[in-house]
């Protein structure tokens, strides 16, 4: 392997000078610069990142922790981050937790040992242990998807989105609206969205039956099963189903269709996420569009501010949503 010493020797200068040429720092005469450049060109030399990082304590690598890789949400968010990092020479070290919660902490540690410059965590919960780990982190952490006090986070206004969606259903004349949520360890998806739904219902004086409240685990199958339980159990038949995520909505949609109900004639169905599939099914799913790409790029930019030591980086960035009304309603 060719090193800075080789270059120095070939160019007839010291390695100090070579270093200066590479990093364009300090004083270097035009002649020396040219000679060094030529040799570098010729040999195709590239400096060792390790040696460099060892001294500078910088890696230009950002660790990203995802709950799952194969979902619209994740890939679009990563896409957004990538668009920012790419231009400025940073790269992404990816890890996934497969929705196992304790792995978030594990990976947080792992990435620090890899000495990444910063960590972006797409969080699914706000456990105390997780927050502690984040707060004692040696490198800056930006959280996406969950609000975490004291930690810069990028979030969507889940509460308002769910309320707005519920109101839309009510405006359309639906009264018996079932809700398929997720575990409440997930503050954003589990708690906020449900709260928005409940608030809208309460505001319109609609009493929510226990049988209308179901829980899934983000998967299509769990949506299917939740819908099945809901439709079989409730005494006041639901005339609308609000799924906290499009994937679960898709499952519910499937169940409803398969069991001979008309959408939206008998039952309306809505989700959140604006997944690709939601556009293509017929009737197309009414949903909330979140700009995941934007979430990614905002998180990336926040990270850069943190790295550049800017203070007063706002702790919380709330992104907007868009209601996408389609045929399922």
Partner DNA sequence: CACAAATGTGGAATCGATTCCCTAATTCAG
Partner DNA sequence: CTGAATTAGGGAATCGATTCCACATTTGTG
State the nearest-atom distance from the C-beta of 281 to DNA, in Å.
53
Per-position x/- string for 82-101, each x denoting binding to its own copies as judged by CB under 8 A, each - no binding: x--------xxxxxx-----
Whose tokens are 């996934």? That residue is 96
- 134 in Cβ contact with 306 (< 8 Å): no
Residue from 78, 139, 180, 182 in contact with its own copies (CB under 8 A): 78
Q: Which does 254 bind (CB under 5 to 8 A by kind): its own copies, DNA, none?
A: its own copies
- Is residue 43 a contact residue for DNA (CB under 7 A)? no
Among 16, 29, 43, 49, the residue binding its own copies under the rule CB under 8 A is: 49
The reply to whether 48 sits near DNA by the rule CB under 7 A is yes
Q: What is the β-pairing status of strands 287-290 and 321-324?
A: antiparallel
For residue 283, say if its preceding peptide bond is cis, omega within 30 degrees of 0.
yes
Q: Which is nearer to DNA, 59 or 176 (CB)?
A: 59
Binding residues for DNA, how many (CB under 7 A)? 31
Which residues lie below 8 Å from residue 109, measured CB to CB, with a gap of 6+? 133
E strand spans, the chain: 61-66, 91-96, 118-122, 141-144, 153-156, 177-182, 213-216, 240-243, 268-270, 287-290, 316-319, 321-324
- Closest separation in Å from C-beta 56 to DNA: 5
Selected binder of DNA within 24, 30, 276, 311 (CB under 7 A):
30
Instruction: Work out which of 37, 51, 129, 202 binds its own copies, going by CB under 8 A.
Output: 51
Binding at 32: pick from DNA, its own copies, none (beta carbon under 5-8 Å per type) = DNA
Task: Compare residues 59 and 176 and give the one whose CB is closer to its own copies.
Answer: 59
One symbol per residue from 54 to 93: x for binding DNA (CB under 7 A), - otherwise; what is it? xxx-------------------------------------
**Phi and psi dihedrals of 134, rounded to 5?**
-65, -40
Q: Which does 277 bind (CB under 5 to 8 A by kind): DNA, its own copies, none?
A: its own copies
Q: Which of 138, 131, 105, 92 has its CA nearest to residue 296?
A: 92
User: Which position among 37, 46, 129, 318 is part of the footprint of its own copies (CB under 8 A)?
Assistant: 46
User: How many angstroms separate the CA atoms of 285 and 272, rounded?
Assistant: 9
The single residue listed with the structure tokens 């060892």 is: 54
Token pair of 307 as six digits? 């790295």
Distance of CA 201 to the CA centre of its chain: 29
User: Closest approach of Cβ 76 to its own copies, in Å?
Assistant: 6
Contact between 164 and its own copies per CB under 8 A: no
75 lines the binding site for its own copies (CB under 8 A): yes
CB of residue 107 to its own copies, shortest distance in Å: 9
CA 233-235-241 angle, to 5 degrees, is 65
Q: In whole angstroms, give the CA distance from residue 273 to residue 171.
A: 21
Which of 43, 46, 17, 16 lies closest to 31 in space, CA to CA? 17
Q: Which residues bind its own copies (CB under 8 A)?
A: 1, 46-51, 53-54, 59, 61, 69-72, 74-76, 78-79, 82, 91-96, 109-110, 112-115, 138, 250, 254, 276-277, 280-282
Which residues of this chain interact with DNA, rule CB under 7 A? 1-5, 12-17, 19-20, 22-23, 25-32, 47-48, 50-52, 54-56
């Amino acid at each position: 392997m060719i090193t800075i010493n080789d270059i120095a020797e070939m160019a007839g200068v010291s390695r100090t000078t070579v270093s200066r040429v590479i990093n364009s720092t300090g004083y270097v005469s035009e002649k020396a610069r040219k000679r060094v450049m030529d040799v570098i060109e010729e040999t195709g030399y590239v400096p060792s990142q390790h040696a460099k990082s060892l001294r500078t304590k910088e890696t230009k690598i950002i660790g990203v922790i995802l709950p799952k890789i194969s979902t619209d949400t994740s890939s679009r968010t990563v896409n957004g981050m990538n668009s920012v990092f790419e231009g400025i020479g940073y790269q992404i070290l990816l890890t996934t937790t497969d929705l196992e919660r304790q792995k978030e902490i594990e990976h947080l540690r792992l990435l620090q040992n890899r000495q990444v410059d910063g960590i972006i965590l797409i969080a699914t919960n706000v456990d105390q242990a997780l927050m502690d780990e984040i707060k004692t982190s040696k490198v800056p952490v930006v959280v996406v998807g969950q609000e975490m006090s004291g930690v810069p986070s990028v979030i969507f206004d889940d509460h308002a989105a769910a309320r707005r969606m519920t109101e839309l259903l009510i405006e359309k004349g639906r009264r018996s609206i079932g809700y398929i949520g997720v575990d409440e360890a997930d503050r954003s998806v589990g708690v906020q969205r449900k709260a928005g739904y409940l608030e809208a219902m309460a505001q319109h004086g609609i009493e929510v039956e226990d049988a209308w409240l179901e829980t899934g685990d983000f998967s299509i199958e769990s949506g299917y099963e939740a819908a099945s339980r809901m439709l079989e159990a409730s005494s006041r038949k639901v005339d609308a189903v609000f799924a906290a995520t499009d994937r679960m909505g898709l499952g519910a949609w499937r169940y409803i269709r398969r069991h001979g109900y008309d959408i939206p004639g008998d039952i309306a169905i809505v989700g959140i996420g604006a997944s690709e599939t939601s556009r293509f099914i017929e009737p197309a799913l009414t949903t909330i569009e979140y700009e995941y790409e934007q979430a990614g790029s905002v998180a990336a930019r926040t990270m850069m501010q943190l790295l550049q030591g800017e203070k007063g980086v706002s702790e919380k960035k709330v992104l907007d949503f868009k209601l996408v009304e389609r045929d399922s309603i």
